[in-house]
Structure 1
């Protein structure tokens, strides 16, 4: 009995725990009250469970209806997806066909667009450096717009491109004069009449001009080319009809600009430095001695020829002084006369040959000085390489210029001195030979007289 009661109490406790929201039942005081209360609660719980079961069944029906509706919607959406997928494939096919038609339709236009941009870019770079732009400035701006355009060119733009190219071709074969502002060497601007020779040269009355494509200005060269070139400009400008020779620049100004940087003879000479000046002094001294010797020997030769035609000895020429020695020793024997005449010839020979050996020495010293300059120049070059490396050739240019120029100067000085030495030496030797020949004749004549 206690066990049954305990089970009933536990069941009642569980029921209360499961239904915390139910109203608390009156507390049983006896076993009968407790049993009645349990039965009452059992009946009440059965009703509640049936009500819950009815609610669950009702909700189940609703959920089943919703599930069926969702399945129907899923089937509809799947059918719609298949329909859209088929339509998408059809659209892709039509789009590919239309793109192919578009490519075929604009193919020629696209190729023309590329050609126009390329031609316009080439024309822009050509117009920027062409001397024709000095007469017609601003031509490269339109070409730049066409070259950088992202759209198909219109018909007026194509006509402008054609006209610009035709104008360049036509002007390249013309020789015209036009007014232009010329920038002088001092930076001033002068209005001058400029002559344009095709695409080759710009010039005014007496000099060449150059066109700067970046600033679109005409200016004088920092230095004109050599005189034989600029002389043709004068004759060409003065020529009113016919033909006239003129030096043209096929590189459209590049060669002409480079020629202004060409080193002149004076600048090249100054590159020789101190050694070059010493070589020049050696050459000058040698030339002075040569001139003095040629004048003196020429005078001696004339005096000797005059003496040969005269019977009276003169103290103003070597042969006359030798004849005087003979006159003063007519009565001596042949050996003594020969010795006297040899002594007189020995006295005259240094006067005749004076300075000839100096010329020879100077001719030998000049190339040695050139070699000295070469060595010193190479020393400077290697010092520059040691200090600054070989990155900048201009640093080594000074030493190399000295080395090469001094060698040239030494050879230039030695060659004429060698030739002049041979001339002076041959003339002095001819005079000595003439004096010895006359002395030998006098001795032979004196010996013949003694033998009689």
Structure 2
């Protein structure tokens, strides 16, 4: 009995482990047996169904494998056919390329020449101010310069016509509307007159063509008046020849010309020292002019005095004649003393202010040297603060140094000439007094000898 119970417990445990669904615990062994049999039947059906599905899938997988193998074989055959076709086409392409090379002959060289010149002319035409007249030619030149095929006859003719067109417009003057950019950044459409490849003018002023923007820009500063005076007449002319200054370098010389500083700008670069030098130069020139006119007036009076014995007031020679005529004694030394006294009294008056001209001529270079030293000091201070990386920081001091030196020489050289001129004139007048004085003394001495004899 004990062994039967153990067997029953074992069966129940196995039923609980194997049965997927257990509705309730069996009440008796007979119910347990029924349940076990029922579950066994269900499991048998499920197993048969699974087996049937596996067999069906196995047959289907075999069919798919067979189909894939057939497709692989077909594709392999197709790949072999394509490889054979590729080899045949490759050989045919080699043959055709060689045939093309033989038949083209020198066309290949011509193609290279056309590409080269098309690229060069594209750059030249893009930089030309006449590009605003013919914007469509850039498309043709770009195609010819970048194409990998032989150009057609029509393209070669168009290229030839484009070159001839550029040659023609380079020697013509034309007026067309174009965009002009002014210094403050404003833009306006104006009638621009193109003078060949050289220059362009608009509203009575010179303008330059900017390749990057395809527009014209007004020069920041126009040339001098003697160059600009012909521009209005040239713009207003219709079919007639009018004079005009042109720049054969396509605006390079003109841009350099307008960038060069004016005289006033040069003077401003000299700073305070430069203005002091110019002030001294002006003062020295006025003194030289005053001395020259004064000596000229004195000289004219003295020359008139040499033609008459009547004393003309206001000239040193008249004083000498007056001293000679007023001498009544027989003492020659007294007459000489009177003559010397007149000469010594009038010589400083004749040479008055002449030394000031020499002083200004001597001081001007020294002031220029002072400005040079000040400018170099400023330059070295800029180098100390900012280094030598930017030359513009040093340009101001160097410019001031050079300009003041230049101004000092500009003032000193003319003043030296003025001083030499005025000094020579004053010396001639003093020499004339001495000669006349010696003549009167000799005449008086002759009278004394005649009286003694």
| TM-score (norm. length: structure 1) | 0.70
Q: Kindly tell me: are residues 114 and 449 of structure 1, through their superposed partners in 2, closer, same or farther at Cα, counting changes over 3 Å? A: closer
Alignment partners' CA distance in 2, 1:97 and 1:122 = 38
Q: Give, in angstroms, the shift of residue 241 of structure 1.
A: 6.8
Q: For residue 334 of structure 1, report the CA deviation from its aligned partner.
A: 0.7
Point out where structure 2 has 5 or more consecutive residues left out of the alignment: 1-72
Task: Provide the residue aligned with 1:101 in structure 2.
Answer: 95
Aligned residue for 1:168?
A: 166
Q: 1:184 to 1:244 in 2, by over 3 A?
A: same
Displacement after TM superposition at 1:254 (Å): 3.3
* Cα-to-partner distance string for 1:111-135 (whole Å, 9 max, x where unaligned): 8887776555544433332100233
2:276 maps to which of 275, 278, 284: 278
Cα distance in 2 for residues equivalent to 1:145 and 1:325: 105
Check 1:140–1:253 CA distance in 2 against 1; reply closer, same or farther (3 A cut): farther
Q: Contact 2:128–2:197 at 8 Å: present in 1 too?
A: yes
Which of 262, 265, 268 is the equivalent residue of 1:264?
A: 262
Question: By how many angstroms is 1:348 displaced?
Answer: 0.2
Equivalent residue number for residue 9 of structure 1: none
Task: Report the secondary structure of 1:396's partner residue.
Answer: helix
| Pairwise CA distance, 1:167 | 3.4
Residues 1:393 and 1:103: Cα distance change in structure 2 (over 3 Å): farther
1:129 to 122, 127, 130: 127
Quote the Cα distance in structure 2 between the aligned partners of 1:180 and 1:313: 82
Distance in 1 (alpha carbons) for counterparts of 2:438 and 2:282 = 39
| Contact 1:206-1:234 at 8 Å conserved across structures | yes
Tell me which moved more, 152-161 or 214-223: 152-161
Counterpart position of 1:212: 210
Deviation, 1:157, is 6.8
Q: Which residue of 2 aligns with 1:390?
A: 388
Residue by residue over 1:230-274, the C-alpha shift from the partner in whole angstroms, topping out at 9 and shown as x without a partner, is 345456557667766544334433333333222222212221112
Q: Tell me how far 1:291 sits from its aligned partner.
A: 0.7
Aligned-residue RMSD, C-alpha: 3.6
SS in 1 for 2:356: helix
1:292 offset after TM fit, Å?
0.6
Partner of residue 421, structure 1:
419
Partner Cα distance (2:137, 2:291) in 1: 71
Query: How far 1:448 moved relative to its partner?
Result: 2.4
CA positional deviation for 1:100: 1.8
- CA displacement 1:353-375 (0-9 Å, x = unmatched): 11112212221222222222222
Q: What are the residue-to-residue correspondences of 1:31-46 with 2, within 5 Å? A: none
Q: State the TM-score, normalizing by the size of structure 2.
A: 0.70
Change in Cα spacing, 1:374 to 1:138, as seen in structure 2 (3 Å) is farther
In structure 2, relative to structure 1, the CA distance for the partners of 1:274 and 1:102 (3 Å cut) is: farther
**Which residue matches 2:430?**
432
Residues 195/88 of structure 1: CA separation in 2 closer, same or farther (3 Å cut): closer
After superposition, the C-alpha distances for 1:96-121 in whole angstroms (9 at most, x for unaligned) are: 42342354467669888877765555
Q: Report if the CA contact (8 A) 1:345-1:435 is conserved.
A: yes
Q: CA deviation at 1:217?
A: 2.0
Alignment partner of 2:368 out of 363, 367, 370: 370
Shift of 1:293: 0.4
Residue 409 of structure 1 deviates from its aligned partner by 1.3
Structure 2 vs 1, CA of residues 106 and 339 (structure 1 numbering), >3 Å: closer, same or farther? same
Offset at residue 395 of structure 1 (A): 1.1
1:350 aligns with 2:351: no
Match of 1:299 in 2: 297
Contact 1:134 1:218 in 2 (8 A): no
Which deviations, in whole Å up to 9, do the C-alpha atoms of 1:387-420 show, x marking residues without a partner? Answer: 2222211111111111221222111111111111
Change (3 A) 1:84 1:207: closer
Separation (CA, whole Å) in 1 of partners of 2:249 and 2:330: 88
C-alpha displacement of 1:333: 0.9
1:225 corresponds to which of 223, 226, 245: 223
2:286 corresponds to 1:288: yes
User: Aligned residue for 1:15?
Assistant: none
| Contact map agreement 2:368 2:407 (CA 8 A) in 1 | yes
